[in-house]
Structure 1
């Protein structure tokens, strides 16, 4: 693993190095967060903003019954988080600080703040209340920061907040696609498959907790704690430099 955080597609066997494993865990967390956002706070996306853009488009066309206010709030909060994340992590790197750990530490803290804002709040699907949208906005700002962190690390096939590219790369570089542009014949398939499975597992776990009747605050405590654990786990690893 180079200091840039970029993994060479052809230089690694199909295994999970420390950084890659931690990013897979963060992908799992994204699945949990989106399950809470969609099933307990919305429907609204907080990490995958493509869905919110489409919700707003449907609302502009006045077609369907999906609310447009929550997606608009999420988009604005996500943009705010992305700007803050870029400025914060860029400044931290310029000062020689461990921007990856700092970014994840703030992310975990914000998820727990969102849990506090949703204390005792009942999971609700459809027509979210003001408190539901407040929690969703906090999560969207957090995921805006996460997207900055993921793009600065820039591990191919592991964006941590969506799996479309990971799935496409996995299939293109598989025995079915056989495309060398996607790393066919290398070990790149392992992390791509892990990313897809982690998102699925995180979404399943979050959905099961919502189904079990957990209030919003307890739904968010596990993902917040996991992100903080990932930040601590990376402390012994080499300092990253964004590419």
Structure 2
């Protein structure tokens, strides 16, 4: 198999420091999705597959799922992805640290979401205007993040979803024994960490909501962690997508 093929399968080593940063961002995604689904929704702001289905079910008026939140999140995510793609490609062309720049923008949007939702009480179903405003800010941030993660391209660590990581983990395990997914290599560890990181973030967010934290109180530490990751990246060599 070619070198590029092995890289796509995630069977080649990646700098541990970069893997660690992507793991931390995956935890943040789990936390944000806990806020989105349990406190603002039902809606997702990173995993847009769910919103496509929520929108379809809402338009069919089945399942008591409002279509407005899903449509807003999809539109805001798309806007964030467009902004992120243009921003980071231009930044890289000029020799700037595009990864850090994307994360700074994400952190700013999360801070704005924390400010807008500081006194917003978590609500599941029938979101009000403040809930929709925070949803739009989070979805925009996650659109930028998804572009950033895809440009970084750490195999098995997309940071905003874990379906592919889980499938590859199972396929490369002693049960799957599929060499196409890197059976017999150490790639399984990175994939397992991605799944556990998303779980940990979601669990932590749900527990904090249960403890009475407001939307803003949950988003403030999320923004701080993303900003810390952006600053930590400055100690690493610059990334090039070419």
TM-score, with length taken from structure 2: 0.94
Listed as ranges, the matches of 1:166-177 within 5 Å are 166-177=165-176
CA distance in 2: counterparts of 1:181 and 1:8, whole angstroms: 7
Structure 2: which 5+ runs fail to align? Answer: 1-6
Q: 1:118 is matched with which residue?
A: 117
Is the aligned partner of 1:90 residue 2:89? yes
Distance 1:97 1:211, change over 3 A: same
1:65 has 2:59 as partner: no
Please give the residue correspondences for 1:17-96 in structure 2 after superposition, counting only pairs within 5 Å.
17-96=16-95
How many angstroms does 1:62 deviate by?
1.9
Calculate the aligned-residue CA RMSD, in Å. Answer: 1.4
**1: CA distance between counterparts of 2:9 and 2:128?**
46
Q: Secondary structure at the match of 1:205?
A: helix
The residue number in structure 2 matching 1:143 is: 142
CA shift digits 1:218-238 (9 cap, x unpaired)? 010111111011111111101
The aligned length equals: 236
From the two aligned structures, give the one with the greater helix fraction: 2
Distance in 2, Cα, partners of 1:109 & 1:19: 22
Provide the C-alpha distance between the structure 2 equivalents of 1:128 and 1:8, rounded to a whole number of angstroms.
41
Residues 147-178 of structure 1: CA deviation (Å, up to 9, x unaligned): 00000011111000000000000010111111
Find the aligned partners of 1:54 and 1:145 in 2 and give their Cα distance.
Answer: 22
Q: Hey, what does 1:159 align to over in structure 2?
A: 158
CA drift at 1:108 = 1.1
Residue 103 (structure 1) aligned with residue 107 (structure 2): no
The 3 A distance-change label for structure 1 pair 165 and 7 is closer
Higher mean displacement: 140-149 or 119-128: 119-128
* Corresponding position: 1:185 with 2:176: no
With structure 1 as the length reference, what TM-score do the two structures score? 0.94
8 Å contact 1:9–1:187 — kept in the other structure? Answer: no
What is the CA-CA distance between 1:8 and the residue it aligns to?
A: 8.1
Tell me, yes or no, if the aligned pair for 2:31 and 2:201 is still in contact at 8 Å: yes
Alpha-carbon distance in structure 2 between the residues aligned to 1:56 and 1:9 = 33
**SS state at 1:77 partner:** helix
Map of 1:235 onto structure 2: 234
Partner Cα distance (1:98, 1:211) in 2: 38
Structure 1 regions of 5+ residues with no counterpart? 1-5
